[in-house]
Structure 1
Amino acid sequence: MDFLLHPATWLLALDWGIRIVALAWIPVRSAPAAARSWLLLVGFLPLLGLPLYLAFGHPWLSRERRERQANASRVIAERQQPLARLRWTPHDDSIADDIARLCERTGDFMPMGGNAIALEDDYAASLQALLADIAAARFEVHLLYYLMFDDAVGDAVADALAEAARRGVHCRLLLDDVGAKRGLRAYAPRLRAAGVDVRAMLAGGLAWRRSARMDLRNHRKLAVIDRRIGHTGSQNLAAPGFVPGFPNREVVARVQGPVVAQLGAIFASDWYIETGEVLAVPEQPPDAAGTSPAQLLPSGPAYPFANARNAVVALAQRARRRLVVATPYFVPDDATLDALEIAALSGIEVQLILSRSNNQRLTRWAQDSYLDALLEAGVKVALHRPRFLHAKHLSVDDEIALVGSINLDIRSFALNAELGLLCYDPAVVAQLRRIEAHCLADAEHLDAAAWRQRPHWRRSVSGIARLADSFL
């Protein structure tokens, strides 16, 4: 019986005990795809896999944050009831009718007409538009961004906010604590000294234990100036080359009209969730500034449904002629992959625009593994060059455009707080079509037969990387 006292016996028992507990516990707490990935890791490396699962395996949010999101959603619904006259009503049984109802039920906001929406894919031009709007602000500037770097763009934005605060403008800056770590360290002290209210979202380091799983991030990008002008899209507060060798290409929407109130509500909600402070929100949205119907779609782990994923799948399912999707990171779940394949097999022109360069190597390897089935189904795949295509946008026929911060990956769908702007206007879709055309004009278009001939070692690396899809 001496073997029972041997350390190797106890280690073996612990090893198999972890595997058995994981098999009983993980599938109950995780989606099937994520559970498979975690069980594979724990099965091979139990002593490493278990602590990693405890830290990263479940999109945990504190009860306080979930309750605050539920309170914010309730207030948004109540505030919209008296504004029924501003609701835009699409034609019955149209694509827009289906999508607008889905997004309102899951993301809280109704579609509103009377907006002016300008899409910009020139990095410098979109930045200058934001700086000009801050410089012209009279009473309020609210900025919420995932990333802010201590570079020329960060300097320009910080200077603009400090100057606005000195003019008496009430400025608030809400930044993700991890994504904007460098910006917070460089600018927060002097901005606070100038009168700007600077807060960090989802504290990193050991402080994460009080609020959420440590890798849950707020990935939104938005600005609201004087409650009448809004900016949202994929562009952060950083120079385009903040990742060396990967200068970014982005798309930003500058918005005027009633939907700006929805952007303001998102900022107020995130401010409340982070600080507990309730900001004053006007009873009436801005007056009509154009003719475009639009609707915001927020998503994230605090919501009961996968808002972004469900909207993308629904858009792909309802396309009738053409579907174009641009994303820098393509690690889809099964529902999204199936929707794209089925659309192409149904005879719809499906164009996927990815970036030829990528600043996340493991994600790029995993991404490659999905392209075989898509190309086989008839999906057209283009790799944009020479810049890093960081823009995230989607268009359906000539009816709907979606721009924002949502990547087509499991992280955006399940872990990050994201934001999308849905535009139900052929004129806005035409703007996005021109941007898509520019991306496609400077791209490598994949050939299915040639793609299948890539080296076996690349296929193997991609297949192995895909096993980590739930971690990316």
Structure 2
Amino acid sequence: MPFDLHAGYWLFFLDWLIRLAALAWIPVRSPPAAARSWLLLVGFVPLLGLPLYLVLGHPWLARQRRERQALASAVIRERQDSLREWRWLPPGGEGDASADIPRLAERLGDFMPTHGNGIELLDDYDASLATLLADIDGAREEVHLLYYLMFDDRVGAAIADALKRAASRGVRCRLLLDAVGAKPGLRAFARPLREAGVDVRAMLAGGLAWRSLSRMDLRNHRKLAVIDRRVGYVGSQNLAEPEFVPGYPNRELVARVMGPAVRQMAALFASDWLIETGERLTADGAYTGNGAAPAQLLPGGPAYPFQNARNVVVALIQHARRRVVLTTPYFVPDDVTLGALHLAALSGVQVQLVLSQSNNQNLTRWAQRSYYEELLEAGVRIALYRPHFLHAKHLSVDEDIALIGSINLDIRSFALNAEVGLLCYDRAVVERLRDIEAGYLADSEILELASWRARPRWRRSVEGISRLADSLI
């Protein structure tokens, strides 16, 4: 009995020591919103919260990875200096979005805006895949694929077969896959692809290797393809069949690009290859114009010193004068993004948020619903797309700026995942994107403030509790 009492005192002391240490340590190491969530968890269950925070508490990367990213950024900036004839000079003056956004994106993500790009938006899942496979089959020099998901299914098999055919023609093929997201594809296809001459690598390896490389749950969420440095793909579509949610096949959006922006995609692939393998690839070569659209690549991720994606998205919202449409499957914004949406709507800008009615992440679904009421009160319009799981991720501002890529409007995408987006400064591209957005809205449930307020109280409670985990999702 005395021993049990003695052990109880020590457990009580340890509980409070952890709580007090967390109060002194976590706010210094984490942003306020994340610190709130972690302190709440540690306060309720100290012995569970402490190890979770030590593993998942902040988005750190190994020094080697940060140094390689800095090297890649320096090389990208240096090589762009000799390509000034391809730099796009926005027609607007100081204070105009067409001038401010490209400057901000270049300072954050290294890539300059270029003119002479041809951009085709592909929103049919099977047609997009067929076009990618045709381009791989037409490759003569090089195929580089960088994807978050690759499944052991008909789509994964079709991509693997196309890479084998390309390698048999003497084409240099490299495949970069996220170690966690693409685990099924790596297990099924890595060995036969390597035997066929394809260089296959896993990014951000899990298991016992993670601790020496990065925080455990950091992921490379990019979807990028570069063929012969002539044509590139960027968007939301993975190398997998569309049935992410049973009964709700994914709807995606991909930009097929030709022109100088493809060289930027090649440089981003080379950057990720360097960070993962230490091997330097060349992304040089003469730029070729294939259209009239100005465009600029925007990479983001924890290897950069700032939250590139979040900062550019917020700037785009702030610069909207008439209308901004944001499409995302996951909506768990940080305070800065939420504030920008509020201010834009209250300033008279038509702010349209398009989300998926179905969702494959239950905690995220409940958390994002907690934001609807305050957004509707501010005048933000919310549409829930019904026919499919809307996995597309894009944004349009007024009539002349679009952002298309892998970026979700959530804290994970902004702070933890490696992402990529393509900024397009072209009215024709925005007009095509508006047509796609109009198709979403025609098949959506439009939320009304009065009816949303009438939802049961238990749902409000679940939403509020889920929102407390916004920084942990």
TM over 0.5: yes
The C-alpha deviation readout for 1:435-470, integer Å capped at 9, x for no partner, is 101111100000011001100000000000000000
- Structure 2 distance, partners of 1:41, 1:73, is 37
Query: What amino acid maps onto 1:405 in structure 2?
Result: S
Size of the aligned set, in residue pairs, is 470
List runs of 5+ in structure 2 lacking aligned partners. none
The equivalent of 2:27 in structure 1 is 27
Give the secondary structure class of the aligned counterpart of 2:325: strand
Partner of 2:231: 229
Determine the structure 1 residue equivalent to 2:63.
63
- For the pair 1:95 / 2:93, whether they are aligned, the reply is no
Counterpart residue number, 2:77:
77
For 1:193, the equivalent position in structure 2 comes to 195
Aligned-partner Cα distance in 1 for 2:196–2:3: 70
Residue 107 (structure 1) aligns with: 109
Q: Which moves more between the two structures, 85-94 or 154-163? A: 85-94
Amino acid across the alignment from 2:79: R
Does the 8 Å CA contact 1:341/1:374 hold for their aligned counterparts?
yes
CA distance, structure 1, for counterparts of residue 460 and residue 4 of structure 2: 45
Q: What RMSD, in angstroms, separates the aligned Cα atoms of the two structures?
A: 1.0
Partner of 2:134 in structure 1?
132
Contact residue 245 and residue 359 of structure 2 kept, 8 A: no
Secondary structure, aligned partner of 1:114: strand
- CA shift at 1:4, angstroms? 11
What is the SS of the residue equivalent to 2:279?
coil
Query: Cα distance, 1:386 vs. partner?
Result: 1.6
Q: Does 1:436 align with 2:455?
A: no
For 1:17-416, list aligned pairs within 5 A. 17-90=17-90, 91-93=92-94, 94-285=96-287, 287-416=288-417
Deviation at 1:72, TM superposition (A): 0.3
Classify the secondary structure of the residue corresponding to 1:59: coil
**Per-residue deviation, 1:242:** 3.7
Structure 2: which amino acid aligns with 1:369?
S
CA offsets, 1:9-60, max 9 Å, x none? 0000000000011011111110110000000000000000000001111111
Displacement over 2 Å in runs of 4+: 2-5, 242-246
Amino acid at match of 1:270: D
Q: SS of the counterpart of 2:295?
A: strand
Q: Secondary structure at the match of 2:370?
A: helix
- Secondary structure of 1:126's counterpart equals helix
Give the partner amino acid of 1:367: Q
Equivalent AA in structure 1 for residue 439 of structure 2: H
Contact 1:3–1:9 (Cα < 8 Å) also in 2: no
Residue aligning to 1:454: 455
One-letter code aligned to 2:341: L
| Distance apart, 1:3 and its partner CA | 9.0
Q: Is the contact between residue 245 and residue 389 of structure 2 (CA under 8 Å) also seen in structure 1?
A: no
Amino acid at match of 1:346: S
Query: In structure 1, the residue corresponding to 2:59 is in which secondary structure?
Result: coil
Query: Whole-Å Cα distance in 2 between the matches of residues 245 and 41 of structure 1?
Result: 35
Q: Deviations over 1:135-159 (max 9, x none)?
A: 0000100000000000010010000
Q: 1: CA distance between counterparts of 2:314 and 2:273?
A: 30
Alpha carbons 1:401, 1:429 under 8 Å: kept:
yes
Which letter maps to 1:441? Answer: A
Deviations 1:73-121 (A, max 9, x none): 0000000001111100102132111100000001000000000000011
The answer to whether the Cα contact below 8 Å between 1:147 and 1:179 also exists between their aligned partners in 2 is yes
Query: Matched residues in 2 for 1:42 and 1:387: separation?
Result: 38
1:244 Cα deviation from its structure 2 partner: 2.4
CA contact under 8 A between 1:246 and 1:359: conserved in structure 2?
no
Q: 1:419-434 residue pairs with structure 2 within 5 A?
A: 419-434=420-435
Give the letter aligned to residue 47 of structure 2.
Answer: L
Go from structure 1 to structure 2 and tell me whether the alpha carbon gap of 1:158 and 1:3 turns closer, same or farther (over 3 Å shift).
closer
Structure 2 distance, partners of 1:245, 1:211, is 38
Distance 1:242 1:368 in 2: 21
Q: Is the 8 A contact 1:79 1:283 kept in 2?
A: no
Shift in Å at residue 205 of structure 1? 1.2
Q: Which runs of 5+ in 1 are unaligned?
A: none
Aligned-partner Cα distance in 2 for 1:246–1:155? 22
CA contact (8 A) 2:244 2:360 kept: no
Q: Which amino acid is 2:405 matched to?
A: G
| Residues 3 and 154 (structure 1), Cα distance of their counterparts in 2 relative to 1, 3 Å cut | closer
Cα separation, 2, equivalents of 1:189 and 1:229: 27
Tell me the amino acid that sits aligned with residue 281 of structure 1: A
Residue identity in the other structure for 1:17:
L
Shift of 1:288: 0.5
Q: Is residue 223–residue 235 contact of structure 2 (8 Å, CA) maintained in 1?
A: yes
Length-normalised TM-score, structure 2: 0.98
C-alpha distance in structure 2 between counterparts of 1:223 and 1:120, whole Å: 14
Counterpart-to-counterpart distance in 1, 2:247 and 2:219 = 25
Kindly provide the amino acid, as one letter, of the partner of residue 403 in structure 1: I
Q: How many percent identity over aligned positions? A: 71
Q: Distance in 2 between matches of 1:242 and 1:87?
A: 40
- Tell me by how many angstroms 1:5 deviates: 6.8
